[in-house]
């Protein structure tokens, strides 16, 4: 600083120390609204003592200690981008005209921007919700059970409730009774259950297995054939299954495969590549694994965000719509456990746990949410509708939060 001052004096430039200090502080700002008094400046600049940016400050430095008296205008340009890739569109469910029996089909995917970057372009197909229906009794958290206790054990009634009362876009029939370790129900039994649900509601269905790779393959095969043309989402095809066989019966009968991998994008790509030998891109939805809030949601979020950005950047192996088993949120004990009074009631904490998990992943790009609690479903649907509504904020309305009298 002493050197500089000396130099300034030599050059006959008389800036007050204040001003120099001020300039040093703002060397990053760009200010161009002032006319230049250049004579001294040129002289100074020849010395090379200051970088160009600081020079531009000098233009601004008004006489009065550099404090502006008027608002300095700086237009904000929305940082809009385009992307080489596009998320593939996948149609779920088929109407009579399309070879099935559903009242409507639902298309997911098709995005050409990151999730809800509506300043860039509108959302193509808003995310949808499929509600969980189980084909037998199973332990449920209290917060969930209170809403479905009348229909547990009756999948058709449960499906009806999910659609008519809870607003589900789709229904997932989880065939857990086929589990060899549970009831070991036969593929024929499973077909019967699916038939009942199919009769009860006219929304597209997701067919959920029990997690046993051999049993699931057998059951999925039977269901795929019996209900050819319904365009079910078969949940799910995993690496430890006979992928070729599964892909073939999915394709032959016009269904959609849910390609499920454990939280690893390379495995996801690999499984998708194996499916491409038999299925079109438009026949694959992927599930990258959903971990609960507090139990790995960070991994799930980043994995999905990377997959979506990757897909948009042209990685076709990741450019599939994403499904999330958001019900997994209930695996977090904070979602269902009775805790000390300051954290209660769990009837609110639990569904909020599911909503928080869902909304986090909504912002990572999930297109299909498999969910459980009606309040969580309602909120997700409301938020999604608000985000795609195209309506503007009523900014004035929210100005007085500062002086808002609460209580």
Partner 1 sequence: MSEKKKGKAGVKELSPIDVYKALPKINCKECGEENCMAFATKIVNREVRLDQCAPLLKKENEKAYNQLKDMLKPPVKEVVVGEGEKAVKLGGKLVMYRHEFTYTNPTAIAIDVTDEMSEEELLSRIKKTEGFSYEYIGYTLKLDMVAVRCTSGEPEKFKAAVKKVVENTKLPLILCTSNVNVAEAGLMAAPKAKPLLYAANMDNWRDMAELALMYHCPLVVSAPNDLSMLVSLVKTLLAYGVEDLVLDPGTFVGDGLADTLNNFTMLRRAACKGGEELAGFPLMGVPMVAWVDKGEAADEVVKWREAYSAAMLIVRYADVLVMHGADGWSLLPNTVLRQNIYTDPRKPVAVEPGLKEFGTPNENSPVLFTTNFALTYYTVASDIENSKTSAYLIVVETEGSAVDSGVAGRKLTAEKVADAIKETGIENKVKHRKIIIPGKASRISGEIEELSGWKVQVGPRDSSEIPKYIIDKWQP
Among 37, 38, 43, 68, binds partner 1 (CB under 8 A): 68
Site string for partner 1, 141-170 (x = CB under 8 A): ------------------------------
In the complex with partner 1, the residue whose CB is nearer, 219 or 355, is 355
User: How many binding residues for partner 1 (CB under 8 A)?
Assistant: 89
Indicate which single residue of 73, 82, 84, 266 sits in contact with partner 1 (rule: CB under 8 A).
Answer: 73
CB 256 within 8 A of CB 90: yes
Question: Shortest gap between Cβ of 379 and partner 1 (angstroms)?
Answer: 6
Return the residue of 12, 79, 84, 97 that touches partner 1, per CB under 8 A: 79
Quick one: which of 78, 82, 84, 97 contacts partner 1 (CB under 8 A)?
78
Per CB under 8 A, contacts with partner 1 among 302-361 are: 302, 305-306, 309, 331-334, 337, 342-346, 348-349, 352-353, 355-356, 359-360
Nearer to partner 1, 39 or 398 (CB): 398
- Given a contact cutoff of 8 angstroms between Cβ atoms, the answer to whether 98 and 105 are in contact is yes
- Residues 173-192 touching partner 1, rule: CB under 8 A, are 181
- What values do phi and psi take at 357, rounded to 5? -60, -45
Task: Output the smallest distance, CB 335 to partner 1, in A.
Answer: 9
Closest distance to partner 1 from the beta carbon of 181 (Å) = 8
Q: Using the rule CB under 8 A, which residue among 4, 11, 56, 66 binds partner 1?
A: 66
* Beta pairing, strands 90-92 & 170-174: unpaired
d(CA 69, CA 341): 55
Site string for partner 1, 108-127 (x = CB under 8 A): --------xxxx--------
The CB-of-297 to partner 1 minimum distance in angstroms stands at: 5
Helices 213-226 and 187-200, packing angle to 10 deg: 50
Binding mask 264-293 for partner 1 (x = CB under 8 A): ---------------------------x-x
Nearest to partner 1 of 1, 39 (CB atom): 1
Q: Which of 84, 90, 77 lies closest to 112, judged by CA?
A: 84
103 touching partner 1, by CB under 8 A:
no
- The least distance separating partner 1 from the CB of residue 93, rounded to whole angstroms, comes to 28
Query: Please, which residue, 39 or 67, has the CB nearer to partner 1?
Result: 67
Using alpha carbons, select from 254, 218, 209 the residue that is nearest to residue 92: 254
Residues 385-404 that bind partner 1 (CB under 8 A): 386-404
> Shortest gap between Cβ of 13 and partner 1 (angstroms)?
21
Q: Is the peptide bond before 216 cis (omega within 30 degrees of 0)?
A: no
CB of 196 to partner 1, least distance (A): 27
Contact string (CB under 8 A) for partner 1, positions 21-50, x = contact? -x--xx-xxxx-------------------
């Amino acid at each position: 600083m002493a050197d500089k001052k000396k130099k300034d004096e030599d050059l006959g430039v008389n800036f007050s120390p204040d001003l120099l200090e001020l300039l040093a502080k703002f060397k990053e700002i760009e200010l161009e609204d002032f006319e230049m008094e250049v004579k001294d400046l040129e002289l100074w600049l020849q010395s090379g003592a200051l970088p160009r940016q600081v020079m531009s400050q000098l233009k601004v430095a008004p006489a009065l200690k550099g404090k502006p008296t008027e608002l300095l205008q700086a237009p904000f340009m929305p940082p809009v981008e385009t992307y080489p890739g596009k998320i593939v569109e996948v149609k779920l469910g088929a109407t009579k005209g399309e070879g099935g029996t559903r009242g409507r089909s639902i298309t997911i995917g098709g995005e050409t921007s990151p999730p809800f970057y509506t300043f860039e372009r509108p959302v193509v197909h808003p995310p949808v919700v499929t509600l969980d229906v189980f084909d037998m009794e199973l332990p449920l958290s209290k917060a969930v059970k209170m809403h479905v206790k009348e229909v547990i054990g009756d999948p058709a009634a449960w499906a009806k409730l999910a659609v008519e009362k809870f607003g589900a876009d789709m229904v997932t029939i989880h065939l857990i009774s086929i589990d060899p370790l549970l009831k070991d129900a036969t593929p024929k039994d499973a077909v019967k259950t699916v038939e009942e649900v199919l009769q009860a509601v006219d929304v597209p269905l997701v067919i959920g297995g029990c997690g046993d790779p051999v049993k699931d393959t057998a059951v999925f095969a039977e269901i795929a054939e019996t209900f050819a043309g319904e365009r079910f989402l078969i949940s799910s095809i995993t690496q430890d299954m006979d992928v070729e066989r599964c892909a073939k019966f999915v394709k032959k009968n016009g269904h959609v495969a849910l390609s499920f991998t454990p939280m690893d994008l390379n495995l996801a790509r690999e499984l998708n590549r194996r499916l491409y030998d038999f299925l079109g891109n438009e026949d694959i939805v992927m599930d990258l694994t959903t971990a609960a809030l507090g139990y790995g949601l960070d991994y799930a979020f980043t994995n999905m965000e990377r997959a979506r950005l990757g897909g948009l950047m042209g990685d076709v192996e990741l450019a599939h719509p994403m499904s999330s088993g958001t019900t997994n949120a209930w695996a977090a004990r904070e979602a269902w456990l009775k805790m000390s009074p300051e954290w209660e009631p769990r009837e609110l904490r639990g569904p909020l746990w599911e909503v928080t998990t869902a909304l986090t992943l909504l912002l990572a790009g999930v297109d299909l949410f498999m969910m459980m609690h009606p309040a969580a479903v309602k909120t997700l649907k409301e938020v999604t509708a608000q985000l795609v509504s195209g309506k503007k904020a009523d900014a004035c309305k929210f100005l007085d939060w500062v002086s808002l009298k609460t209580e």
